[in-house]
Structure 1
Amino acid sequence: MSLWLPSAPCTPRACVETTGSAGAAVPRAVLRLTLVAILVLAGVVLSPLGAQIPAGWVRRWCRAVVRASGVRVRITGTAPPTGGLLLVANHISWLDIPLLAAVRPARMLAKTEIRAWPVAGALATRGGALFIERDRLRALPATVAHIAGELRAGAAVAAFPEGSTWCGRAQGAFHRAVFQAALDAGVPVQPVRIRYLGHAGGAASTAPAFVGDDSLLASLWRVATARGLVAEVEIRPTILPGTHPDRRTLARAAQEDPAPEPCWTHAALVASQNAGGTTGDRAADPAPLTGAEGQVAAA
């Protein structure tokens, strides 16, 4: 893996909350995962219809996938319904993908490895995902030009500019390359903020996070066995073309949040809280992304 690729220090052991899997949680989790599988397979079957499927149906299907996994969805704000648009969001979980599509169906930027994923790879391919080779820095200008072309043609393109998944209590900076495509195409940028809350909408939860060396199966099971998870999707004000002179200021405006608490600080807090307890969490070591899809890195 190239050293220039973005990565996060978040790991399952240091950052991710555990969920109960005993007793009644197991049958409930099996039911939830069965419903998710049925919905995803239905999406694969119907995906060849492409643009013939109304956008409203796609948005409802995406929300249904998240809801079937046991996560309630709250979406506030609206995005432009038509025309070229770059949607950008922070990246925490595999759940982010259907949540962003629930805002507006879009061509998703995805690393080429996604093609080989069972079921999800076929769904991404048929859904028009734009696959990128993250480990080929020389391919970046051509990738940006291709994205700009899709935006000029009136497509919506969705990206996670952090380039890696984070646990949700910490987050990474938005890398700038994908914003150059929006500048070149002269289209708006739609920032979206995703948060996961536990206990029916209380404090922030890291249970849905898909980070570090976590496996997709482990993440699916953790979400399915959790109770009271809520996904909050905040559609922020659209950034119109011409309001920012370069990709650096555009990326900063799209992220807009103050610098988050470093992930290692959270890990140290968890460890201190559990000293003499049961979890034995440790501080996180930097790890390459092996979880949810990585996106265009910084130029």
Structure 2
Amino acid sequence: MINWLRVGLFLVVLLVISGLMIPVQLLALRFDWPLRRRLPRYWHRMALWFLGIRVHVHGRLETRRPLMIAANHASWKDILVLGSIADVAFIAKTEVASWPVFGFLAKLQKTIFVVREEKRRTGDQVNEIAARMADGEIVVLFPEGTTSDGNRILGIKSSLFGAAAAALPKDDENGIVNVQPTAIAYTRVQGMPMGRYHRPIAGWPGDTGLMEHLIGVLRAGALDVDVTFGETVEFRKGDSRKTLALRIEEQLRAMLLAHLRGRYRR
């Protein structure tokens, strides 16, 4: 009963606050106000607070632009976590746009939806990503291409870094795109190291319903997540996307494992 009360309270408060913020965000999107980039950050922070998720940031977000964040991906919580730290735009598969609730929220944040299977549309999608990055927006890419269980890094798909290549200034041979690996590690429950029993809370398995997973997060009471900004990789014209992918994967794996094993050192 208590769990359902928490779920109900969370949803009611979320709906009330969202009802106040959504009209403002729609206006900001309509007139392209700078507020459209900042407002989602406040919403994400509010949602994390009600969920009992505490975010600990290690390292610093790169200040140079254009900037792409390459992060590991465990569940829908990653969106809230990264969105609470910085004003970012996410790259998501086009199916997300049709998801209940999540699709609408993604559109409010002006998420970039991509159709990986339709090569004829790839050019337009990549150009949009490049234009957004050139405009100073921080674009978040989940280069694993899918969610993991939160315990490991899946193989990084070098093809997904095509957007970074497209964002290179065409009139500047010395231009670069900054790609910063960012590890997201769910490490503690109620202040204690997260053991095997609670690990399913970190990831979101495809066969688990959203409400079921949400209840699991609320039942846990308090989750700690460590977000680590790694060493930025400068990507230049002529550089190999495979080499970029390998460097990003190496850093992500090292940072994630260090946190999960309690061996991270600043």
* TM-score range relative to shorter protein: 0.7 to 0.9
Using CA pairs under 8 Å that are at least 6 residues apart, name the structure with larger relative contact order, 1 or 2: 1
1:194 aligned to 2:184? yes
In 1, are the aligned partners of 2:235 and 2:244 still within 8 Å (CA)? no
The residue matched to 2:235 in structure 1 has which SS?
coil
Using the alignment, how far apart are the partners of 1:40 and 1:255 within structure 2?
Answer: 36
1:123 aligned to 2:111? no
2:111 corresponds to which letter in structure 1?
A
1:249 aligned to 2:243? yes
Using the alignment, how far apart are the partners of 2:243 and 2:127 within structure 1?
Answer: 20
1:213, CA displacement in angstroms? 2.2
Using the alignment, how far apart are the partners of 2:192 and 2:39 within structure 1?
Answer: 26
2:134 corresponds to which letter in structure 1?
R
Identity of aligned residues (%): 28
1:228 corresponds to which letter in structure 2?
A
Tell me what 1:28 maps to: 6
Tell me what 1:109 maps to: 91
* TM-score of the pair, normalised by structure 2: 0.77
1:231, CA displacement in angstroms? 1.5
Using the alignment, how far apart are the partners of 2:79 and 2:180 within structure 1?
Answer: 15
1:110, CA displacement in angstroms? 1.6
Tell me what 1:14 maps to: none
In 1, are the aligned partners of 2:25 and 2:36 still within 8 Å (CA)? no
1:161, CA displacement in angstroms? 0.9
The residue matched to 1:197 in structure 2 has which SS?
strand
**Compared CA separation, residues 169 and 47, structure 1 to 2 (3 A):** same
1:237 counterpart (231, 240, 243): 231
Using the alignment, how far apart are the partners of 1:44 and 1:220 within structure 2?
Answer: 22
Tell me what 2:263 maps to: none
Query: Counterparts of 1:142-291 in structure 2 under 5 Å?
Result: 142-184=124-166, 185=168, 186-199=176-189, 200-203=191-194, 205-242=199-236, 245-257=239-251
**Compared CA separation, residues 191 and 122, structure 1 to 2 (3 A):** same
1:57, CA displacement in angstroms? 5.4
1:40, CA displacement in angstroms? 4.2
Tell me what 2:264 maps to: none
2:228 corresponds to which letter in structure 1?
E
In 2, are the aligned partners of 1:208 and 1:222 still within 8 Å (CA)? no
Using the alignment, how far apart are the partners of 1:54 and 1:258 within structure 2?
Answer: 30
In 2, are the aligned partners of 1:39 and 1:65 still within 8 Å (CA)? no
1:71 corresponds to which letter in structure 2?
I
Using the alignment, how far apart are the partners of 1:242 and 1:101 within structure 2?
Answer: 27
1:160 corresponds to which letter in structure 2?
F
RMSD: 2.8
Tell me what 2:79 maps to: 97
**Compared CA separation, residues 209 and 121, structure 1 to 2 (3 A):** same
The residue matched to 1:237 in structure 2 has which SS?
coil
More strand, by proportion: 2
1:70, CA displacement in angstroms? 2.0
1:62 aligned to 2:44? yes
1:256 corresponds to which letter in structure 2?
E
The residue matched to 2:151 in structure 1 has which SS?
coil
**Compared CA separation, residues 249 and 169, structure 1 to 2 (3 A):** same
Using the alignment, how far apart are the partners of 2:82 and 2:113 within structure 1?
Answer: 17
Deviations 1:207-247 (A, max 9, x none): 13212222222222221222232121112222233499211
In 1, are the aligned partners of 2:64 and 2:178 still within 8 Å (CA)? no
